[in-house]
A and B are shown apart, each in its own frame.
Chain A
């Protein structure tokens, strides 16, 4: 056995056979004989295990997509032959787009509310808090993630009742902004169970995931970068701005996108809190609906075409989530920084 092995690239599917004699440069001659590196059994088992795990993920994802597609065929057929059969009577797209808008708006509000808080908490626990307090605070935040969404739903219903006064105040002073506009008779939702309430509860639900991830990223800021900033005479906040945030930028984006994914798909809490209705611009009156909540609320009584409709709506959510994640990947790839 040669003791000095030149490391040559070998794909996970191409485990090396016996090494060829003599060190050869990794030649770029596709089709020709390529020198194979020595692969130990442990490496081979490990690489096979990871390969299986990777393929399994793809298979499951493809399975879900196929299921959604297959179950959607009735809806697609109905849409093509007679769109009036579909709920609402004006075809699938006019049925689904208010749901899409409602989903996107609630997720966006949740994100806008949660991200600054999450970054603040993460920065506080990593760079500001006294050393004894910091781990405790991180633990408490992680605990938020362990609360079942049905509990959030119950809490959100309780919260909704207390928000009506606030919504009335909003509509009185900020009613000129369409999203806070009161109903035609000047009233707002009596129960407070509006899309804004649901979004606020969603923001608390996605807070832990964003906080945990950004905290881990901020902890990894190279000490050298932090010291470089401090040695230039930066205050703590300036150091965070010069060293911590630029280093964590791509991580912040991916953490936020994971939060967004959760907000888009969250079902139980929204279904419990929101009293659904038609799409309205105002967030303080009753109305609006999200995809996940629409499915959950209608699924138990659905059959036949209605069932297929709901599954097609699920397919739409699947596609939206996929697009959001691809967008996030693109942003991460563009903003990632070579840390030193």
Chain B
């Protein structure tokens, strides 16, 4: 498990509008990569191209390549459904399926893959995924209750459990803590630290302290102005970005002088 991602000359369009221009980066396996930058700079858009989720928006298209261990996910004949089964995603707001129990939520992705699970296998997988998401101890006595009865932070960890239950190669997180209180945020950040032992984790965050705390490498995106495409400004070790950035724009952003 855990794959390396090479992004080569990636341009992203919404219709005729060029949203992101010329992204070039290499995301290492078993590490946490953070995307930071002001609103509208395209960091979420880039994240969503890594599992082809941006295609949900009509008119979206890309040029360039995204290679997962050398295989272009935009190559001819690649089914986005299969890409998404390898690249899990956690969203800004927790979105467990409201009609499903906690257990059914965890198993939702596995059941999609048409795997026939015996009851013992299902129980085992539920436990391991929930343990992987640091949620097992809190919910083990109410696995058959609806997931919507949990707190916001628990729901978000349930979504992480759902994503890792299918054992993806890569885990994408789109501002996973932006709707959570500090204690729940801490729980998720601890979890991200554990997750990088098994997965390639890419996280978009507005919180620079969070990027500094959880990530190994950080990518800073910026936008020249409204209507202009977002660009990758700098991509480096997190420690370097936050202590000694190469570019003045990066320094201005992380020191809070703008954005």
Contacts and interface: CB of A to CB of B under 8 A. Distances in A.
B98 A228 contact: no
Interface string B69-87: 0000000000001101100
A231 B51 contact: yes
A340 B91 contact: no
Contacts of B89: 227, 231
Contacts of A230: 53, 56, 84
A220 interface: no
A225 B95 contact: yes
Contacts of B91: 224, 227-228, 231
A247 B98 contact: yes
Nearest to A238: B112
Contact of B99 (A131, A233, A235, A246): A246
Nearest to A231: B89
A111 to B, nearest CB: 24
B88 interface: yes
A52 B112 CA distance: 52
A337 B99 contact: yes
A242 interface: yes
Nearest to B147: A340
Contacts, number: 75
B148 A234 contact: no
B163 interface: yes
A63 interface: no
A222 interface: yes
Interface residues of B, number: 28
A339 B93 CA distance: 13
Contacts of B259: none
B58 interface: yes
A126 to B, nearest CB: 13
B133 to A, nearest CB: 15
Given A227-B53, A227-B56, A232 B98 contact: no
Given A224-B91, A227-B53, A228-B159, A340 B98 contact: yes
Nearest to A245: B99
Given A227-B53, A231-B89, A242 B108 contact: yes
Contact of A227 (B58, B95, B163): B95
A243 B96 CA distance: 10
Contacts of A246: 97-100
Nearest to B99: A246
Given A231-B53, A232-B108, A232-B163, A225 B97 contact: yes
A334 interface: no
Interface of B: 51, 53, 56, 58, 81-82, 84-85, 88-89, 91, 93-100, 108-109, 112-113, 148, 159, 162-163, 166
List of 3 A-B pairs having minimum Cβ-Cβ separation, nearest first: A233-B85, A246-B99, A232-B109
19 contacts: A131-B58, A222-B95, A224-B93, A225-B97, A226-B56, A228-B95, A229-B108, A230-B56, A232-B109, A233-B81, A234-B81, A235-B81, A238-B112, A242-B108, A242-B112, A246-B99, A247-B98, A249-B99, A337-B98
